[in-house]
Amino acid sequence: MRHILIDGTLEAVVENMAKQRIKLGTLDNTNPFMPPITEMLTWLRGPADYPALLWSAQQEIGLVKPSLNTLKNLFKSGVTPRSARQVEANIGKLVEHYDVRTSVDQILSEIPLAPGENGVRWLVFPRGVIEGVRRHKPFDAIEIGQTIAFLQRRAEAEAGLISVVLRSESIGLSKKEKAGYLRKAMSELLSQHVLIGAEDIRMYCDAVVTLKSYRRSYSHKKISAALRGHFYLRVDFYHQLFANFMADIASSHGLLDPSHGLEKDLVEQGVMVELIPTLEDGELVTPTEKLYKLWSRLFSSGGEPMSYRQMATHIPSPKPERTRRAGADSAPDMYDSIYETQRGRMAEWRDGTVPSTEQLVKFLESLVGDSRNILLPFLMTRMSTIWTAWIKQEKKQLDDLISAVPALAEHLSFEDYLFSFSRYPAYWAKARAQADR
C-alpha cells in the first residue's frame, strides 16, 4: 500500500492494478464528535470538499493541472497513474510553498491513520495557520501546544469510537447484544471527552443505536434526541477547539500588545463570551452583529460608541470602476458612490458575509490604528463569522425540518440549541484552568 499526501494529510491509496486506476481511500466522515474540517471551511466561504480544496490551493501557486474533475475522480472512480503522479508532484510543491513539511512529518509520527478519520486533517490545519503567522514578527514565538494537545486527544478518541463500531460488527453478537454493547461503549467514551450532561449523552447514544439497529422502531422522540445530540457534540468540539486556541493566544498576549481593553477580555473570558448568539424579542442576534457593536465601543475615539457609518469609512475604498454609477463623474458624486459601497459592505459584514483577508486586514489596521494590534481582532472576526454562519445554518435547517415534520416541534427547539451554544464560558474555564497548570 502506498500513501499520498493531500492538504497535509496522508490518505491510503487503493490501487486497482487490473484497471490501472488509483483512488484515494476515503472522504470526510460526518462524525459530530470530530466534524470534518471542510464544514468549518464552508462557513468561511472556503472549498466545500477536498477536491475543491486541493484545486483552490494549486491555483494559488499557479498550477492548472490536473483539472477539478480529475481531482474529483481521484476520490471516486479513480485516475490514471500518470494523473496520480501529477497530483503527488503538485502536493509536494504545495508542501514546499507553504513550508509545512515539519508539521506533516511530526503528525505522521504521532498518530496512526485509519480510513474515515477526520483527526489527522484537523491536526495539520492549525499548525499550518500558525506557521504562516509566525513568518511575521512579533508573532514568530506564538505557540498552540494546548490546541494541538486537544486535537491529538480528540483524534485518538475518534479512532477509538470508530473501533467500537467496527468491533461490534465482528464479535458475533446478536442484534440486542450489539445494541447494548454500542450504547455502553459509546457512552463511556463520550463521557471521558465532552462537557455534555450524562443524561444528554445517554439519550443520544440510545437514540442513534436504536435508529441504527431497529430502523422500523423509530419515533419522533428518538429522532429528536439524535438530532439534538448531534448538534450538542458539534458544539462541544468547536467550543473546546476555540477555547483551547484562545487559551494559547492568551498565553502569548505579551506578543500581541492588545489594547482597548481586549487584553483583560482575552485573559479573563477568552474574548468570545460577548459574541455568543442570543434571541431578542424572538429575533436572532448573531455573533457578527455583536462583534461590530463591540468594535464601535472599543475603538471609539470619544465617549460615545462609533456609528456604523463612521466605522464604514475604515473599510478600504473600492476601485473607482466598481463604484462608478450613471452621472457620478464629478468628485463629490464619486465620493458619495464610494461611501455608499463602504456602507453596504459594512452592513454585509455585520450580517455575516466573510470579508476577504486583504480587506479585513486593511480595515482593522485603519480601525485599530496599529498593525501590531490586529491579530486578536482578526481572529475574533474570523471566529464570530464562523459562529454566525453556523447558527444561521442550524436555525434554517431546524425551521425547515419542523415545517416538514411538525410533530418534531414537541421535542426540538432552537432555544435548546442556543442554550448549548451559551455554555462557552464553561469551556473557556476548563481551557484556562489547563493553561494555568
Q: Is residue 153 part of a domain?
A: no
Q: Is residue 87 part of a domain?
A: yes
Q: Between 170 and 201, whose confidence is greater?
A: 201
Q: Is residue 70 part of a domain?
A: yes
Q: Between 244 and 337, whose confidence is greater?
A: 244
- The yes-or-no verdict on residue 12 having pLDDT over 70 is no
Task: Give the end of a domain, one of 111, 138, 159.
Answer: 111
Q: Which of 64-73, 230-239, 266-275, 422-431 has the lowest mean pLDDT?
A: 64-73
Average pLDDT (55-68) is 74
Q: Between 329 and 410, whose confidence is greater?
A: 410
Integer Cα distance of 28 and 14 in angstroms: 16
Torsion sign, CA atoms 305, 307, 312, 314: negative
| Band (136; pLDDT cuts 50, 70, 90) | low
Helix residue ranges per DSSP H, 134-219 = 145-168, 175-193, 198-213
- The yes-or-no verdict on residue 128 having pLDDT over 50 is yes
**SS3 of residue 3 by DSSP:** strand
Work out the number of other CB atoms within 10 angstroms of the CB of residue 89: 11
Q: Is residue 201 part of a domain?
A: no
* pLDDT score recorded for residue 335: 59
Task: Give the end of a domain, one of 87, 111, 135.
Answer: 111
Q: Is residue 106 part of a domain?
A: yes
Q: Between 160 and 310, whose confidence is greater?
A: 310
Is 323 within 8 Å of 430 (Cβ atoms)? no
Is 299 within 8 Å of 376 (Cβ atoms)? no
Q: Is residue 264 part of a domain?
A: yes
Q: Between 347 and 266, whose confidence is greater?
A: 347
Integer Cα distance of 250 and 243 in angstroms: 10
162-196 pLDDT, tens digit per residue, is 888 888 888 888 888 988 999 999 999 999 999 99
Among residues 140, 145, 110, which one has the least CA distance to residue 126?
145
The Cα-based distances of 288 to 118, 270, 314, 380 in angstroms read 28, 16, 17, 9
Integer Cα distance of 256 and 373 in angstroms: 6
The domain of 77 spans 2-111
Integer Cα distance of 412 and 224 in angstroms: 6
Is 290 within 8 Å of 422 (Cβ atoms)? no
Integer Cα distance of 398 and 206 in angstroms: 21
Q: What amino acid occupies position 195?
A: L
Work out the number of other CB atoms within 10 angstroms of the CB of residue 180: 15
* pLDDT score recorded for residue 5: 38
The Cα-based distances of 204 to 162, 193, 200 in angstroms read 17, 15, 6
Is 339 within 8 Å of 313 (Cβ atoms)? yes
Length of the chain: 437
Q: Is residue 173 part of a domain?
A: no
Which grid cell sits at 293?
A: 457593536
**SS3 of residue 36 by DSSP:** coil
* pLDDT score recorded for residue 372: 67
| Band (375; pLDDT cuts 50, 70, 90) | confident
Element (H, E) at 29: none
Among residues 66, 40, 20, which one has the least CA distance to residue 121?
40
* pLDDT score recorded for residue 303: 78
- For the chain, the domain total comes to 2
Task: Give the end of a domain, one of 111, 139, 162.
Answer: 111
Q: What percent of the chain has pLDDT over 90?
A: 38
Among residues 387, 420, 419, 364, which one has the least CA distance to residue 287?
387
Among residues 129, 91, 78, which one has the least CA distance to residue 10?
91
Q: Is residue 27 part of a domain?
A: yes
* pLDDT score recorded for residue 99: 56
pTM: 0.80
276-331 pLDDT, tens digit per residue, is 999 999 999 999 999 999 999 888 887 789 999 999 999 998 765 554 454 455 55
- The yes-or-no verdict on residue 402 having pLDDT over 70 is yes
How many Å separate Cα 373 from the centre of its chain? 24
Is 159 within 8 Å of 165 (Cβ atoms)? no
Torsion sign, CA atoms 99, 103, 109, 113: negative
Integer Cα distance of 401 and 241 in angstroms: 28
* pLDDT score recorded for residue 169: 80
Our CA dihedral for 225, 33, 4, 54, rounded to 10 degrees, sits at 80
* pLDDT score recorded for residue 73: 74
| Band (46; pLDDT cuts 50, 70, 90) | low
Integer Cα distance of 108 and 8 in angstroms: 10
| Band (107; pLDDT cuts 50, 70, 90) | very low
